[in-house]
Structure 1
Amino acid sequence: MSVAQRLQSLPREVRQYLLVTGNYWAFTLTDGALRMLVVLHFHQLGYSPLDVAMLFLFYEAFGVATNFIGGWLGARLGLDRTMNVGLGLQIVALGMLLVPATMLTVPWVMAAQALSGIAKDLNKMSAKSAIKVLVPKGSHNAQGALYRWVAILTGSKNALKGAGFFAGGLLLTLIGFRGAILTMMLMLMAVLVVSLWRLRADLGRPKAKPRFREAFSTSRAVNVLAAARLCLFASRDVWFVVSLPVFLYDQYGWDHWMVGSMLAAWVIGYGGVQTQAPRITRLFQGSVRGITVGWALALALLPAFLAQLSLEDAAGWLVTGLLVFGGVFAVNSSWHSYLIVRFARAEGVSMDVGFYYMANAMGRLLGTLLSGWLYQAQGLVACLWVSAALVMLSALMALGLPRDGTEDTAAA
């Protein structure tokens, strides 16, 4: 039996899931590559570190509004349309970077990155919302299947993002900035054609069109989880985004390629752990609330421990702590991603998912800003203490979650 015949023999929901996943994978690979291309290329052009950081400011800021509005649009138009719009916007953003070098000013590239940020969050919201729609409802252990599907999608995305970092550097070396951008554009155009052709129309679109005010979640579980997610991701980015790379470069004398390779490997490993989160959390029995709080408390211990070391002479401890933090954070992140899909309403799932990832984007933005400000003012140790405090706050917020997770049935 050929591969095509095997795919056709699969249930329709599984084929659609594979299409959504492939779409998301292709987008994520180019997203990671584009980030590395922008950092390396504009550094070579003589942009200051602050200028390079500013290029990504709109990328993160626009994610807040995109997730909120995008969830509502997904419910009104269908997740297939918002996913395809995300692909189209990424193609436009890439095209904006093909202008002559004299036109690649900071405002122009910031605008392109803003468009890319909107595209990324539309694509991510659509992909993760689609799982709620596509997972077989009547299957044995449906919640376990949902958790596994979410973990695979989330983990593989982050692994591919790390692979994108490597791909961006490789393409820049082999065919230059314009050649790399053009290659990614052509790849995404091919993916968009397949998506328009094969992805089910009106995917995730409820029978009744929701009003805009319904984009605000009325579910206590969703609101609590969103607040916990905001603190969780701020706790990562407060020391990972700016302060850690600069510290490795300034204090340990690492070359740029060493710093980039370390961070790329971290993201790939982080994604790999996420795919195994269902097996890991299965080893620790407990309620929804207990598992969420317990893993958050375990995570908070790591930056608090590192903050007490003399990091200037402890490169091994810092790298080891970073790797362990990544593994424990990956389990927290994957578990949270499963819970939002579980708690989201069945009709108009994208609105709850969009609201939740709006909080995720706010956490990333807050963490990024704190990372630069705290490191400049107080150094890496201050960033680590704030990271531990934010994880503790996330754990306290998670105490408001339903103990046994029964709100998912009510929300449906």
Structure 2
Amino acid sequence: MDSVTKLDRTGIRNYAIVTAAYWGFTVTDGALRMLVLLYFHTLGYTPLEVAMLFLFYEIFGIVTNLLGGWIGSRFGVKLTLYGGITLQIVALLLLTPVNDTWAMALAVPYVMVAQAISGMAKDLTKMSSKSAIRLVIPQNAQSALFKWVAILTGSKNALKGVGFFLGSLLLGVFGYVHALLIMVVALLLVLGSGRWLPSGLGKVKAKVKFRQLFSKSREINILSAARFFLFGARDIWFVVGLPVFLYGGLNWSFQQVGGFLALWVMGYGLVQSLAPTLLRRFGSGRPPQARTIRFWTGALTLIPAAMALALQGGSPAGPTIVIGLMVFGIVFAFNSSVHSYLVLAYTEDDKVALNVGFYYMANSGGRLAGTVLSGLMYQLYGLVGCLWGSTLFVLLAALITLKLPNPKPAQ
């Protein structure tokens, strides 16, 4: 077991500022996704056309994670964090003029550009907050690292669930434009916290060469490949197929769709936060090893397959989706929590921003593939097709994790 290490008070303060800013951003990011999805679905956009609106969001997230790690290493994570929040404000303002009088040929590319800016904003803030943990927790405190990573990741997802509900609520109560403006005001308040954060946090002394962005360890490469398929598996059925099915197939209201998905993401985030405690109590008591992620990824493969078979067999859609989504969320939360720990456990302090940026570039790539496939598979084969696509992606992630070694003991 790791020795108990006293954490630097200044480091904890800096981490708290970064985390609070990330929390504020996360709520608006979740709200914006649900707002755009539901608003444009009501305007008559097909599932595939709705998915295309998020295409640049994911593509530019890939590029941003790659370059964001390099920028963070050279100039510090304060620049990347608050730069991301500023870009989100720009994206929200750009979306306000769009309405039902716009021709689809104009609205789609315009919204895609605004979503590209939002995608850059999201991944700049994510990379900054995840990098800050490695800079605060000493190398010999791996159990503490797992705990803090789980708390940040779990709380982020819980707040994203709040954002899902908030987006649908704001759309129903205030309408599209006023909902966007309310989120702009909230983010302007978040920007004010930047004055208390030192500008050099996360900046490395040695000059980082551009070619180092692609020079990763074998462990980081394997974990990144597994992350690609893991998060693609979730988004294949969760991003477009599921909310469109709940709204159009089961005739749920905006608030019911947003509220249900919000509760799911909040519960998923809670399980992520509790993952270190649960694994320590029912496992070996040590930080996660390679076999930990292999077990949880293998278990996840069974869930979307079971849901698809149940729906094909004539089981009631409502209960099957609700129960299946709950089980999927619990198992996926353990996967995500262990993944987020391992990328930092495999990383040295002087490479944290670079490795985290590269890793979340793979995450964004998986989300991109999942988002496009979610719209396409749902339009062609319905929700059952989305679930079988998810099963295939999880299976590929499980096979990739067979190559992972255990993290090396810190010196």
Would you call these one fold, judging by a TM-score over 0.5?
Answer: yes
Deviates further, 217-226 or 278-287: 278-287
Question: What residue identity is the alignment partner of 1:109?
Answer: V
Structure 1: which 5+ residue stretches go unaligned? 1-8
Q: Give the secondary structure class of the aligned counterpart of 1:308.
A: helix
Q: Does 1:189 align with 2:192?
A: no
Q: Which residue of 2 aligns with 1:309?
A: 310
Q: Give the ranges of 4+ consecutive aligned residues of structure 1 lying more than 6 Å apart after TM superposition.
A: none
Q: Deviations over 1:228-275 (max 9, x none)?
A: 111111111122222223333454443443333222211111111111
Offset of residue 182 of structure 1: 2.2
- Following TM superposition, by how much is the alpha carbon of 1:350 offset from its aligned partner in structure 2, in angstroms? 0.7
Q: Which residue of 2 aligns with 1:5?
A: none
1:123 counterpart (125, 146, 150)? 125
Cα distance in 2 for partners of 1:157, 1:76 equals: 26
Match of 1:81 among 61, 79, 82: 79
The alignment-based identity, stated in percent, is 53
CA contact (8 A) 1:98 1:181 kept: yes
Match of 2:222 in 1: 224
User: Structure 2: which amino acid aligns with 1:118?
Assistant: M
Q: Which amino acid aligns with 1:324?
A: V
Give deviations 1:23-62, integer Å, cap 9, x for gaps: 0000001111122222333345554544433221111111
Q: Deviations over 1:323-375 (max 9, x none)?
A: 10011001100110111112123103111001000111111111122222233
Mapped to 1, the partners of 2:38 and 2:388 lie a distance apart of: 30
- Note the C-alpha offset of 1:166: 1.6
Is 2:356 the partner of 1:353?
yes
Q: Offset at 1:181?
A: 2.1
Aligned equivalent of 1:215: 213
Structure 1 residue 166 corresponds to structure 2 residue 165: yes
How much has 1:217 moved relative to structure 2?
Answer: 3.6
Report if aligned partners of 1:90, 1:116 keep a CA contact under 8 Å in 2.
Answer: yes
Does structure 2 conserve the Cα–Cα contact (< 8 Å) formed by 1:345 and 1:408?
Answer: no
- How high is the TM-score relative to the length of structure 2? 0.90
CA deviations on 1:124-182 (whole Å, 9 max, x unpaired) are 011101110122456xxx11111111111111111111101222223334433333222
User: Which residue of structure 2 lines up, in the alignment, with residue 3 of structure 1?
Assistant: none
C-alpha contact 1:29 1:164 (8 A) present in aligned 2: yes
2:204 maps to 1:206: yes
Task: Indicate the SS of the match to 2:405.
Answer: coil
What is the correspondence of 1:110-149 to structure 2 with a 5 Å cutoff? 110-137=112-139, 142-149=141-148
Local SS of the residue matching 1:88: helix
C-alpha separation in 1, matches of 2:114 and 2:184: 14
Go from structure 1 to structure 2 and tell me whether the alpha carbon gap of 1:377 and 1:303 turns closer, same or farther (over 3 Å shift): same
Equivalent residues of 1:303, 1:384 under 8 A apart: yes
- 2:169 counterpart letter in structure 1: L
Query: For the structure 1 residues 74 and 40, does the alpha-carbon distance in structure 2 shift closer, same or farther, using more than 3 Å as the test?
Result: same
Which residue in the other structure is 1:28 paired with?
A: 26
2:310 partner SS:
coil
Tell me which of 254, 273, 276 is aligned to 1:275. Answer: 273
Partner of 2:377: 374
Matches within 5 A, 1:253-332: 253-282=251-280, 283-285=282-284, 288-311=289-312, 312-314=314-316, 315-332=318-335
In structure 1, C-alpha distance between the alignment counterparts of 2:25 and 2:31, rounded to whole Å: 10
Letter in 1 for 2:26: T
What TM-score do the two structures reach when normalised by structure 1?
A: 0.89
The alignment status of 1:396 with 2:393, answered yes or no, reads: no
CA distance in 1, matches of 2:40, 2:258: 15
Mapping of residues 43-122 of structure 1, within 5 Å: 43-99=41-97, 101=99, 105-122=107-124
Helix, strand or coil at the partner of 1:401: coil
Return the alpha-carbon distance in structure 2 between the equivalents of residues 129 and 158 of structure 1: 17
**Residues in 2 aligned to 1:248 and 1:164: alpha-carbon distance in whole angstroms:** 18
Decide whether aligned partners of structure 1 residues 367 and 43 sit closer, same or farther in structure 2, where only a CA change above 3 A counts.
Answer: closer
